[in-house]
Amino acid sequence: MSAIPPLHAMPMVGFGTYLISNDEVAHSVESAISVGYRHIDTAAGYGNEQGVGEGIRAAMQNLGLSRSDLFITTKLWPGNAAWGDAPKNFEQTVEACEHSLKLLGLAYIDLYLIHAPSGAEQRINQWKALQHLKQAGKVKHIGVSNFTEAHLDELKNAGEAMPEFNQIELHPWSQKPALLSYMAAHHIHPIAYSSLVPLSSWRVAPGQASAKTEQMKADGTDSPFQRMAEKYKVSEAQLLLRWGVQKGYAVLPKSTNLERMRQNIDLFGFEIDAEDMALIAQMDRGDGVAWATGDPRFMG
Ligand SMILES: NC(=O)c1ccc[n+]([C@@H]2O[C@H](COP(=O)([O-])OP(=O)(O)OC[C@H]3O[C@@H](n4cnc5c(N)ncnc54)[C@H](OP(=O)(O)O)[C@@H]3O)[C@@H](O)[C@H]2O)c1
């Protein structure tokens, strides 16, 4: 029998919180939960876990929700020697999770991920620590983010249990077919981040850096996704997010705008037809662009 949890444990549409400040995020999370999100994605590296926790508590109180109604993900910042940030060892990983729990004000985390493969020689110890945290009941599910086939093989070859999830940048311009087929063969569920990269409105606010090229930015106007969206009478964002869920990926749209939050979770009233799915399959441009420092799969 597979050790993989049924996917229904994790709602397919989660609310992303990267680039929402700790001051602003409580309001955003509370709003997102009030319009129907039950899955929230944050990370130690976003510096907003405290505000996320405040938003969760406010929404639970206002809406009469219990903790088990929500699925909360946060991530270990594993360290990165190349940035002068020593990789965390086993004990430091356990401490980092406990610190995240404290900031969030939660008794447990639904999904705890290693944010990137940048832990180098500590990667296996970090993964052992996540398994320990799961056994101790501090986290319900564990996984990784931005891991390649080689990083996953490293865990397999060390005789470790495989991650339940790998959160990776996935959208029509970064489709990662080889990684996804490796993950399917090893029963590792994909979670898609930065689904909205092809939009002309993606991270346009000042200070929201990425590796999106000028060509990609120019391609965002009059894009094939806009034309497809018109055909289905949905927004371009809905089309891009629907592509993800239709492929079987959970998605994590981030918005600080209430109307967009509503739109981004309303993905189940239409279906992209086979012809359009085949067209989108030909639009892959390769590596992810969400990290300004380049695709984090190559960090370790
Ligand atoms: N594991 C990792 O390494 C990693 C990396 C990146 C992201 N993530 C996670 O994935 C989440 C989503 O990724 P992301 O934040 O990079 O980007 P995203 O959700 O794909 O896109 C967000 C951007 O699109 C805009 N937007 C949102 N909804 C829209 C709509 N309906 N119409 C037009 N524009 C819209 C937002 O602006 P407004 O806010 O102004 O609406 C923002 O600029 C993150 O928040 C984070 O939780 C994980």
Q: Which pLDDT belongs to residue 5?
A: 45
Which of 96-110, 140-154, 199-213, 244-258 shows the lowest per-residue confidence on average (mean pLDDT)?
A: 199-213
Query: Taking 70 as the threshold, does the pLDDT of residue 154 lie above it?
Result: yes
- Report whether residue 236 contacts ligand 1, using a CB cutoff of 6 Å: no
The residue among 256, 294, 266, 275 whose CA lies nearest residue 55 is 256
User: Which comes out higher in pLDDT, residue 110 or 3?
Assistant: 110
Q: Is the pLDDT of residue 6 over 70?
A: no
Ligand 1 mutation target, pool 39, 75, 196, most atoms within 8 A of CB: 196
Q: What is the mean pLDDT of residues 203-229?
A: 91
Which two three-digit tokens encode residue 259? 């109307």
Which phi and psi angles does 259 have, rounded to 5°?
A: -65, -40
Confidence (pLDDT) at 290: 93
Pairing mode, strands 250-251 and 189-193: parallel
pLDDT over 50 at 219, yes or no: yes
Under the banding of pLDDT at 50, 70 and 90, the label for residue 7 is low
Residue 253 Cβ contacting ligand 1 at under 6 Å: yes
Residue 160 sits at φ, ψ, to 5 deg, of -85, 155
**What is 10-289's CATH number, 3.30.870.10, 3.40.50.2300, 3.20.20.100, 3.40.50.2000?**
3.20.20.100
Confidence of residue 18 (pLDDT cuts 50, 70, 90): very high
Residues 6+ apart with CB under 8 A from 139: 97, 108, 109, 110, 111, 112, 130, 133
Please state whether the predicted TM-score (pTM) of the whole model is above 0.85.
yes
Per-residue pLDDT band at 221 (split at 50, 70, 90): confident
